Structure 1
């Protein structure tokens, strides 16, 4: 990456391509146009992962998430993924069960 140090856009794209798993999920929850250059990306990433979650979140916290009445499904899914990304080693089956639980509550609300 040293070869491209003067090209912020390319540095950001190359950095994003190196991410995997939960970190990649976190990256995709960032708001569009939030990051203006690679220095800002470095700062946001460092703030998020410098301590690598000294406060451990547990996967059962996903079950307490609820979609707000005025919240779009897209926004809710983005928020859900952001919370999942905060849980180190979150099992996908638990996250899937938690999201199904809330989708069932949404369906019941719409039907009534």
Structure 2
């Protein structure tokens, strides 16, 4: 298309091939005969979507950035590079310096930047790749440890709930007298047993009156 920039009809016909929804719907809804040239089409497009344009930022936007306390390195890199892409005329060494100032001190990657400062953000991003992989592995291991700890706590609670019933059953078994197991059941009534053996019993002593 760079060889056909003066061919307005061709440029206008090829323009919608670079659009996706909902921009393609906007193009289809243009009134017939409302576009006089490719420049006119570009002006209409910019007027329609000017609100979507990201405003340009100055270098002060980078100096005000700060890595959050719990923000991972990958997330901060993405956020920093996005802001940097909107800064006009940012010198490579300035971008590296502002990134180093914005990082949380004490982490290994910050120490690496202090010991050997890269000259460009491309070098910085390339070096950060290894630290990002290490950080992601540590996060994965921490999640696995947390899951195992949670499962162990659940098992402990279940054992604690089961323990009282087991102790109660054991206590009842110990409380039951052993003689109870060897008692011979009666085959006659108590009344008949008394009639047959009443002569064998002696009369009880009389109750003494209180003084």
* TM-score for both structures, normalised by structure 2: 0.24
Of structures 1 and 2, the larger Rg is shown by 2
Which has the bigger relative contact order, CA under 8 A and spacing at least 6?
A: 1
